[in-house]
Amino acid sequence: MILKLLFILFGVVLVLWGIYRMKTDDAFVGKNQTRKNLFNLLILGQASGIGQLLSGILCIILGIVAFII
């Protein structure tokens, strides 16, 4: 039970950290922030802001599914 809550909490932290990274990170290519974030996702993968955001959403979903099962 505690592990499921910690997994959901970890997902929330990843989502918030991903949002922060998407707003503050800079990239080599791209004129607007959306293109910079997509370039970072292609180059850095999960270490980019979008990657952390998606991983956080996945952690939250898996934590909720674990509660149901």
3-class DSSP state of 67: helix
Query: Where in the chain are the domains?
Result: 2-68
CA distances from 57 to 1, 29, 37, 44 (A): 19, 27, 17, 18
Q: What is the pLDDT of residues 2-60, one digit of tens each?
A: 888 999 999 999 999 988 988 887 777 777 777 887 777 778 777 788 888 999 999 99
Tell me the pTM: 0.80
Paired tokens of 58 = 């996945």
| pLDDT of 64 higher than 80 | yes
